Amino acid sequence: GRSEFAQSVKDLMREYGADGIDLDWEYPGIEGYPEHPFKPEDKVNFTLLVQELRQTLGKKAVLSFAAGGFASFFDQSIEWDKVMPLVNYVNLMSYDLVSGYSTVTGHHTPLYSNPKQEASADHGVKYLLKLGVPAEKIIIGAAFYARSWSGVENINRGLYQSGKFKSFVPYHRIPSTFTAEEGFVFYRDSVSQAPWAYSPQRKEFATFDDYGSVKLKTKYAIQQKLGGIMFWQLTDDQAETGLLQAIWEATK
């Protein structure tokens, strides 16, 4: 199966003039989407897949993979010493750190940790560096979308409170979804450098990246001499002066 997959990737690259492939396996060896099958031996199977792809695609092909931004992924999913010499980049998913399965609100894409929340882009980068991953191969992630929760009591402006996941909201819909008329007020965590919104009227909480937080993430990537910044996903952005613009501005 690995051999056939690798050959099909090579054929597609040749047909479309692509320069490589990014693997998104959520997650080797540990639970991802509820009831999605996983098994411990997939940690080794992931290594074998990367080895097969590198051998089939050759040295010039760009090979990268998406990495969960939390400790159990770092510790249990990847044979870092075997995989990293074969890939160009690891795309750190420093978003969904509070996922749609969480019953407690929080920052889903913070730059830094705070006393209430360890998972963050910076925490993930430092973890990978300790594992021996070269800084120039680490790509951090920005979220071009919000996640919201309902039934959130008006305590701490909705942050770190019980709630029920409600929706995924593209960035371009944030202004029309979380409105002042609906009681939403926007806040910023000065420690985590993460924005959020809360409506005591509707008892709804939302967490997201914005222009300022994405700009700071991009500057962080430059200052830490990382490989760069990536995002999910382009179609969620505004057509003009959106988050892609924030990345561009930060690189100047």
Q: Write the pLDDT tens digit of every residue in 37-69.
A: 999 999 999 999 999 999 999 999 999 999 999
Q: Residue 230: what residue type?
A: M
pTM: 0.96
Cα separation of 73 and 27, whole Å? 7
> Is pLDDT at 173 greater than 90 in this prediction?
yes
Question: Alpha-carbon torsion 16, 22, 28, 31, what sign?
Answer: negative
The number of residues in the chain equals 252
**For residue 200, what pLDDT is reported?**
98
**For residue 36, what pLDDT is reported?**
87
**For residue 47, what pLDDT is reported?**
98
Tokens of 195: 């924005």
Residue 169 banded pLDDT, cuts 50, 70, 90: very high
**For residue 182, what pLDDT is reported?**
97
Burial of residue 81 (number of CB atoms within 10 Å: 0-12, 13-18, 19+)? exposed
* Nearest partner of 142 among 246, 19, 36, 16, judged by Cα: 246
What would the mean pLDDT of 128-155 be, rounded to a whole number?
A: 98
Count the neighbouring beta carbons within 10 Å of the beta carbon of residue 75: 12
**For residue 150, what pLDDT is reported?**
98
**For residue 160, what pLDDT is reported?**
98
> Is pLDDT at 34 greater than 90 in this prediction?
no
What are the pLDDT digits (tens) for 181-240?
Answer: 999 999 999 999 999 999 999 999 999 999 999 999 999 999 999 999 999 999 999 999
